Amino acid sequence: MREEENAVTVVIPNYNGMKYIKDCLDGLLAGSMLPEIIVVDNASDDGSFEFVRDNYPQVTLLRLKANTGFCHAVNSGLRITRTEFVMLLNNDTKVDPGCVRSLYTALIQSQRAFSVQAKMLSMQDPDVIDDAGDLYCALGWGFARGKAQQADRYDTPCEIFSACAGAAMYRRGIFDRIGYFDERHFCYLEDVDIGYRARIWGYHNLYEPSAIVLHAGSASSGAVHNAFKERMTAGNNRYLLWKNMPAFQYVINLPLILAGERIKQNYFARQGLGDAWRDGLTRGSFLIERAKYGDEMRRLDSPEKGTIWEESGTEEGTELIHPLYLGGKVPYSPLHFFHYFAIQFALWKNMGRRLQG
């Protein structure tokens, strides 16, 4: 038992999570496998930082000076973990008592697995799926498998494209090989990006339905659709495609990617969010140029340093971030050719799933 308990650390990024953080921590502490717990606070001003500090002395609490976004927060937690496995957990969740053990067991049974995701159920209606694994398709769309469908339809373990970082466990050592969460994303699609990178290296991402997590959803960003979220998503998606697809694969998928962008633009225009979506595409082009600059600096043995500015989604508008990890173009290697082939098959297969609803 002691060996197992020393194998897992749970990292929880928290931003103004007073409404949920007690249930989140109490669920973990009542579990059949008790992990180390790190809460990384993104400069909350709702009292949640003080609440954790005063009521949970067994929890390691790391406070950041600004809302630096999901990626920087979890990277901050990952950098101070020492266990073989690390679970990332949103603050607006409540875990089943057997959740941590189920994820741990699934990972140790599959040596080529990078991540394993829990079965995320809607906190408002636990009979309905919130996320049963993230999928990505050739249209350039990421989407949650099983969203809003009956939970009992997703009771079989399987391989997924990537794990939703809101409730997933990872092999920590693999981050050192494939890179950490890319802080240019700030938030949204960063988990698809890192799952994509893991697949390029030949690792797998799994779904484990016996690990149950209730998820409130949109607790930090607000509504399901809002200008901040769609601006970030559009930009991050354009950046994700550029960095992970080698030229030959991008050319193969380009007609579908352009069609996917047009469909999204039309959809968000009807939602009154067309300007935000178009601004996001411009932001994505900017992220690509910044990444190209960073890649060139690394080639010249002069790593990209300094700070980046990002939108925080708060009234303050932007915050200064001192990044811990900035990604770039994933170098193509012939050794990974068959991995790209498998990824391409998954992109086409997932497009069929998405179009079928």
For 224, list phi and psi in degrees, rounded to 5.
-60, -40
pLDDT score recorded for residue 349: 97
pLDDT in tens, 21-31: 999 999 999 99
Residue 300 has pLDDT above 90, yes or no: no
Give the pLDDT mean for 282-294. 92
> pLDDT by residue (tens digit) across 179-204?
999 999 988 999 999 999 999 999 99
Mean pLDDT of 2-12: 82
Confidence class for position 5, pLDDT limits 50, 70, 90: low
Task: State the pLDDT at residue 298.
Answer: 78
pLDDT > 70 fraction of the chain, expressed in percent and rounded: 91
Minimal CA–CA distance to 130: which of 44, 218, 229?
218
User: Per-domain residue ranges for the chain?
Assistant: 2-215, 227-330+340-356
Q: Is 306 left (phi over 0), alpha (psi -120 to 50) or beta?
A: left
Among candidates 343, 348, 13, which has minimal Cα distance to 197? 343
Beta bridge pairs of residue 63: 41
Average pLDDT over residues 312-340: 77
pLDDT of 225:
75
Burial 146-169 (b: 16+ CB within 10 A, else e): beeeebeebeebeebbbbbbbbbb
Instruction: Return the pLDDT at 219.
Output: 44
Identity of residue 344:
Q
Q: How confident is the model at residue 305 (pLDDT cuts 50, 70, 90)?
A: low
Q: Are strands 36-41 and 8-14 parallel, antiparallel or unpaired?
A: parallel
Residues 115-139 have a mean pLDDT of 97
Over range 155-176, report the average pLDDT: 97
pLDDT in tens, 95-105: 999 999 999 99
Between helices 190-200 and 337-356, what is the axis angle to 10°?
A: 140
Sequence-distant (6+) residues with CB within 8 A of 305 are: none
The pLDDT value recorded for residue 3 is 56
Give the residue-averaged pLDDT of 102-113. 96
DSSP letter assigned to residue 9: E
Residue 280 scores a pLDDT above 50:
yes
Stated as kind and residue range, the H or E segment containing 280 is helix 274-299
**What are the DSSP calls for 201-220, one per residue?**
TT-EEEEEEEEEEEE--STT
Secondary structure class of 167 (helix, strand, coil): strand
DSSP state of 262: H
Q: Which fold would CATH assign to domain 2-215?
A: Spore Coat Polysaccharide Biosynthesis Protein SpsA; Chain A (3.90.550)
Q: Is residue 107 exposed (0-12), middle (13-18) or buried (19+ Cβ within 10 Å)?
A: buried
The torsion defined by the Cα of 344, 86, 229 and 189, in degrees rounded to 10, comes to -10
Confidence of residue 336 (pLDDT cuts 50, 70, 90): very high
Q: What is the pLDDT of residues 191-244, one digit of tens each?
A: 999 999 999 999 999 999 999 999 997 544 445 678 999 999 999 999 999 999
